[in-house]
Amino acid sequence: MSVEANPNVLGIVGGGQLGRMITLAAKPMGFEVVVVDPGPNSPAAQVGAEQIVAPLDDPDGLAELAERTDVITAEIEHIGTEVLLALQAEGAIARPDPAAIALIKDKLYQKSHLAGHGLPVADFLRIDGPGSLATAKTHLGGIIVKARTGGFDGRGNLVLGEGQGWADVQRFFGPDAELYAEEIVPFRHELAVVAAKDVRGRVLTYPVVETFQHDNICHTVEAPANIGSHTARVATEIAREVVDGYVGAGIYAVELFVDEYDRILVNEVAPRVHNSGHWTIEGAETSQFANAVRAVMGLPLGSTELRTPTCMVNIIGERNGPVELRGLPDALAIRGVAVHLYGKSPTRQQRKMGHVTATALTIQEARAAAEHARSLITI
Query: Which parts of this chain interact with a copy of itself (CB under 8 A)?
Result: 1, 6, 24, 27-30, 45-48, 285-286, 290, 294, 298-300, 302-303, 307-308, 325, 328-329, 332-333, 335-341, 343, 354, 359
Asked whether 283 and 223 are in contact (CB, 8 A), the reply is: yes
Burial grade of 51 (CB within 10 A; 0-12, 13-18, 19 or more): buried
Closest approach, Cβ 288 to a copy of itself, in A, equals: 14
Residue placing its CB nearer to a copy of itself in the complex, 29 or 159: 29
Closest approach, Cβ 335 to a copy of itself, in A, equals: 6
SS (H, E, C) the chain: CCCCCCCCEEEEECCCHHHHHHHHHHHHHCCEEEEEECCCCCCCHHHCCEEEECCCCCHHHHHHHHHHCCEEEECCCCCCHHHHHHHHHCCCCECCCHHHHHHHHCHHHHHHHHHHCCCCECCEEEECCHHHHHHHHHHHCCEEEEECCCCCCCCCEEECCCCCCHHHHHHHHCCCCCEEEEECCCEEEEEEEEEEECCCCCEEECCCEEEEEECCEEEEEEECCCCCHHHHHHHHHHHHHHHHCCCCCEEEEEEEEEECCCCEEEEEEECCCCHHHCCHHHHECCCHHHHHHHHHCCCCCCCCCECCCEEEEEEECCCCECCCCECHHHHHCCCCEEEEECCCCCECCCCEEEEEEEECCCHHHHHHHHHHHHHHCEC
Reading phi first (left if > 0) and then psi (alpha if -120 to 50, else beta), residue 30 is in left
What φ, ψ does residue 244 adopt, rounded to 5°? -60, -25
Residue placing its CB nearer to a copy of itself in the complex, 50 or 259: 50
Closest approach, Cβ 284 to a copy of itself, in A, equals: 12
Residue placing its CB nearer to a copy of itself in the complex, 271 or 298: 298
Residue placing its CB nearer to a copy of itself in the complex, 330 or 371: 330
Closest approach, Cβ 274 to a copy of itself, in A, equals: 18
Residue placing its CB nearer to a copy of itself in the complex, 254 or 284: 284
Closest approach, Cβ 360 to a copy of itself, in A, equals: 11
Closest approach, Cβ 16 to a copy of itself, in A, equals: 14
Residue type at 326 in one-letter notation: R
Residue placing its CB nearer to a copy of itself in the complex, 145 or 341: 341
Residue placing its CB nearer to a copy of itself in the complex, 142 or 343: 343
Closest approach, Cβ 102 to a copy of itself, in A, equals: 29
Residue placing its CB nearer to a copy of itself in the complex, 107 or 340: 340
Residue placing its CB nearer to a copy of itself in the complex, 39 or 300: 300
Asked whether 359 and 370 are in contact (CB, 8 A), the reply is: no
Closest approach, Cβ 362 to a copy of itself, in A, equals: 16
